[in-house]
Amino acid sequence: MRFYVYNNIIDPPGYIHTKHMSKQDPWKRNKASTTTVYPQQEALLLNKPRDATPEEFNEWVETELTLQTNRQFKLIIVATVLQAFSWLCVMAILYLNFL
């Protein structure tokens, strides 16, 4: 372990002498001016919305939810077929490599 000597004082590594520190940073700014002030987020108004009535819920299911589920169902089927085809291609390549 290496020790450093400053003015007949032995310091372990990593110890900083505050007595010999400059009051300015390397860009000649005062240290007090280098403090960072972060903007604060304003308080969020998280008002809880009211619960939907059964009629509003049924209308939402018929108008928005069924259209989204139909589109997503088609996309999932296409992705599943593509993944199965890719897996079969990998198995075919492995089989051809073992011949």
Mean per-residue pLDDT for 43-64?
A: 86
78 pLDDT higher than 60: yes
- Please give the span between the terminal C-alpha atoms of the chain, in angstroms, as a whole number: 63
Q: Which of 13-17, 30-34, 80-84 has the lowest mean pLDDT?
A: 13-17
Q: What is the pLDDT of residue 39?
A: 72
Q: What is the pLDDT of residue 58?
A: 93
Q: What is the pLDDT of residue 9?
A: 55
DSSP 10: E
Q: What is the pLDDT of residue 54?
A: 94
By percentage, how much of the chain surpasses pLDDT 90?
33
